[in-house]
Amino acid sequence: MFRLLLLLTVVTLAAGARLQLRPTPRLDGKIVGGKPVKIEEYPYQVSLQRYGSHVCGGSILGPNKILTAAHCISSSSASSLSIRHSSTYRGSEGVVIKVSSIAKHPDYDPFTTSHDVSVLTLSEPIKDSDIGKPITLVEAYATEGDREAVCTGWGTLSSGGSSPLQLQAVDVKEVDREECNRSYNGRITDTMICFASPGKDSCQGDSGGPLVVGDKQVGIVSWGRGCARPDYPGVYAHVAPLRTFIDKNL
């Protein structure tokens, strides 16, 4: 999906050993084991674009509000960003609207990827006549455990492969918090939840996109080690404890 800048590529290669020791935000990859779908099935999904190119996913929270991951916008100005909504395809159709301001969680930590959430304000509202519709957020008091979810995005379909034009969806199941924490050597914080299924996962290019249980968003694609690796579940920003920040910026 998003092609990393040459500078970031060089830094990543130079820091290869360190990347094994800390979370790796999912900025350039795939949905693994998913299927092509239409935006009418997931009307809350948007493509977050930087200078017109897809970089991350996001979800519609209101007429002019978008939810995404903090790491997706950590090095971007609002003037460089826009969203494409109401489109099955990441680079065409639908409607493009510029971003006017960014609210990034003040406790976001790029080294641990804790509090990985941002709320974007658009320069104009999404019209009621458009396909794009808001997603309902999970309640702050929601109970964890044994949930089944769907994640959507436009990431590449295989490691090093090309990005699909059409939106993809994948079904995943919640992983016990303690089990996930053991997999990641204690790096799972209260603002993270884990989901996985054999051969299925979100991955780098799906960053910022929604993880939805039923009709409510419970997570935001955040980070993980590899993609669909049996011992390393996908890690998502945990919407429930982040509701205070999100609600404040709606």
Burial track 5-14 (b if 16+ CB lie within 10 A, e otherwise):
eeeeeeeeee
Q: What are phi and psi of 56, to 5 degrees?
A: -155, 175
Q: Which of 68, 50, 58, 31 is nearest to 205 (CA)?
A: 31
Q: CB 129: neighbour CB atoms within 10 A?
A: 6
User: Do 23 and 187 touch, CB atoms closer than 8 A?
Assistant: yes
Residue that is written with structure tokens 């579940």 in the block: 233
**For this structure, is 116 an active site residue?**
yes
Residue 80 gets which letter from DSSP? G
Q: From CA 168, how far away is CA 67, in angstroms rounded?
A: 19
**For this structure, is 207 an active site residue?**
yes
Q: From CA 116, how far away is CA 103, in angstroms rounded?
A: 12
Q: From CA 120, how far away is CA 6, in angstroms rounded?
A: 27
Task: Catalytic residue, from 28, 116, 201, 206: name it.
Answer: 116
Burial track 202-237 (b if 16+ CB lie within 10 A, e otherwise):
bbbbbbbbbbbbeebbbbbbbbbbebbeeebbbbbb
Task: Catalytic residue, from 47, 59, 86, 207: name it.
Answer: 207
Q: From CA 44, how far away is CA 63, in angstroms rounded?
A: 11
Q: Catalytic site residues? A: 71, 116, 207
